[in-house]
Amino acid sequence: MKPSDAFALEILPTQDEDETPRARLIHCGQAVGEPVEGCILEQQYAVDANRYLLFVSDDIPYEEGLHIYLVDAAGAVLDGLEIGAPYTPGLLEDVVASGPDKVDFSFIHKQRCRVIVHAEPAMFRRLWPIIGVKRLGGVFRKHHLELQLMA
């Protein structure tokens, strides 16, 4: 997995200040895909020739949310995770590609986490090791992204 600059975000207007910010993905100067939650593109990696891993934050102090999206070059979201909880600050730190399909990072309480990108979607036995983690599409379907706590 290699760092990338293939995507940018265009922040969309919100109806009120309590609404989670949303943005449109920009790829090669063109808006692509459906809007995603979050407004700051913190990090992005090229997984392979057609898939990208995006780390997008909400920019809401004391209730920061982190959205991790697996997208294709057309901006279609293939899978996603959301990490965050009410009244829980988070800061994305120490983001490192640790292999061809892995990225390590810290977010809430400096807990080290690893996101693994699987080539084929799979079911994962453990539901969630971190309180405040949500899956795009729910937990009872196959996913490309797996989240692990690191010791």
> Distance between terminal CA atoms of the chain?
22
Q: Is pLDDT above 60 for 128?
A: no
In the DSSP assignment, the letter for residue 51 is E
Domain span at residue 71 reads 2-149
Q: Quick one: average pLDDT of 63-88?
A: 91
pTM value? 0.91
Q: Which of 86, 7, 9 is nearest to 40 (CA)?
A: 9
The pair of three-digit structure tokens given for residue 149, joined into one six-digit string = 């706590």
The whole-number average pLDDT for the span 76-87 is: 90
- Is residue 125 very low, low, confident or very high in pLDDT (cuts 50, 70, 90)? low
Residue 102 near residue 114 (C-beta atoms within 8 A): yes
Number of domains composing the chain: 1
